[in-house]
Amino acid sequence: MNSMNRDCQLLWNNCMNIIRDNIPEPAFNTWFLPIVPLKYQDHVLTVQVPSQFFYEYLEDKYLDLIQQTLYREIGDGTILNYRILVETESNTAVELRGESKPYIGTDKNSNKKITAKVPSPFDRVETSEFDSQINTKYRFLNFFEGDSNRLARTAAEAVANNPAKTAFNPLFVHGHSGVGKTHLCHAIGSKVEELYPDKKVLYLSAHLFKVQFTDARRFNTINDFINFYQSIDVLIIDDIHELSGLEKTQNTFFHIFNHLHQNNKQLVMTSDCAPMDMQGMEERLLTRFRWGLTSKLERPDKELRKKILQNKVLSDGLSIPENVIEFIAENVTENVRDLEGIVVSLMAHSIINNREIDMTLARRVMEQSIKFEKKRITVQKIQETVSQFFNVNRDLIQSSSRKREIVQARQVTMYFIKKHTELSLSQIGIQVGNRNHATVLHACNTVRNFYEVDKSFRSDIEEIEKILTS
């Protein structure tokens, strides 16, 4: 290894140590361990990643972390260059530059903290192009409707089609994290921009609002701050509960709210709880939050979860068997983010390990990613399921019959008992016709061997697995 490569490896190892401390271990193992540092020259660090998807995911999810780490360990202005291996045998690759953002961190020479002033949109009021902060990939087209979100979605579409001209002003949407509140906000904004290009639409989090307010006070620009927000036609504020306990920020927002509402401007807000359950919020604000429509987004039911998964699979160009989608939808019940995260993890594991997505991989990924409780599968359930599937009487499975179909059902029964219970080989043998442990071991090996070479048999085993875990 030449000195340039050694230096590159050392620099990258230093960066990896910092990144490892800032993200969960499974994410680090999935997205950073496969990266291979290649060279560092002229402030450009080149690394190799397994695929285009891998590159896009890193840039989307970890851009800030990667860039700030590079600046801290290597120097300001360091550029990350990705080499994407397209064809392994011919070593064909393409190279893409990482995106750059202004640095916020520590000056290594003076050891002083560098802080960038949080961008205030009211600094750009006079510009010809107004930045609405709307993410156009979140639309009503990919916000799927179900019993859990029908009212909120319908109201949101009505607001988007006729901002400030419905009874839903303000529109207040609440629900647990990950159920689609932010998606709905951006969908409203996207639709308004499409139908009413002259309207000023702004999406922001309540956290950014309070940071901007603090900056405005510090730099004595409160009037500019208020004037800017009073000029908005459709104001969408996510996580409004984050203003709780901030008396001066609430007071300023109260005046902005009043001005917009009185001038027929649309307000949309989200929160993790209903107005009546919010603590630390002035009553006069809570009263106004209830002026329009308050709607709750519930956790998605199974059918809606399946719709979301199928769309995610289709949009990402993945190939995931229907039984795996059914399995994920059955077990990942909390929110949409978990569903999408599982699909991304499956994709990553499939690419890195060069294997097809199947039930075994899905189960392993889910056990690593979420609180996933395995359903208890009993010996009795296995015996009943295999008996019904092969249409063989349970008593015959227990018997000494050597008929081919009975032997197969017996061996499959032993295989699944070994897979889904903690019983020893001897204990399994006792449960299936009082056989010895060597017979059980032979049965399990036979099933595994046939599974690898016989498509029809593999399909049968996967179908029985689906029945047992459903």
60 and 196 inside one domain: no
41 and 162 inside one domain: no
pLDDT at res. 370 = 61
- Sequence-separated (6 or more) residues with CB below 8 Å from residue 1: 9
- Sequence-separated (6 or more) residues with CB below 8 Å from residue 253: 209, 243, 285
Residue 292 lies in a domain: yes
149 and 197 inside one domain: yes
| pLDDT per residue as tens, the chain (470 positions) | 445 566 788 888 888 888 888 888 878 888 888 888 888 888 888 888 877 777 878 887 888 888 888 888 888 778 888 887 654 443 444 555 555 444 444 444 444 444 334 444 444 444 345 788 898 888 898 888 888 888 999 999 999 999 999 999 999 999 888 788 999 999 999 999 999 999 999 999 998 898 889 888 888 888 889 989 999 999 999 999 999 889 999 999 999 999 999 999 999 999 988 998 888 899 999 999 999 999 998 887 878 888 878 777 776 666 788 888 888 777 776 677 777 777 778 877 777 777 778 888 888 777 766 655 455 688 888 999 999 999 999 899 999 899 999 999 999 999 999 988 878 888 899 999 999 988 999 999 999 999 888 889 999 999 998 888 77
* 390: CATH: 1.10.1750.10
428 and 443 inside one domain: yes
148 and 271 inside one domain: yes
290 and 149 inside one domain: yes
pLDDT at res. 457 = 92
* 146: CATH: 3.40.50.300
158 and 278 inside one domain: yes
Domain end marker among 318, 350, 369: 369
Domain end marker among 318, 344, 369: 369
pTM of the model: 0.53
Neighbours of 51 (CB within 10 A): 16
Q: Which domain range does residue 333 map to?
A: 302-369
Paired tokens of 133 = 């902060």
- Sequence-separated (6 or more) residues with CB below 8 Å from residue 159: 166, 168, 169, 171, 188, 266, 268
Which amino acid is residue 263, in one-letter code?
N
Q: How many domains does the chain have?
A: 4
Residue 125 lies in a domain: no
Burial class of 395 by CB neighbour count within 10 A (0 to 12, 13 to 18, 19+): exposed
pLDDT at res. 164 = 92
Residue 120 lies in a domain: no
431 and 339 inside one domain: no
139 and 288 inside one domain: yes
Domain end marker among 64, 81, 111: 111
330 and 390 inside one domain: no
Residue 89 lies in a domain: yes
pLDDT at res. 331 = 76
pLDDT at res. 365 = 78
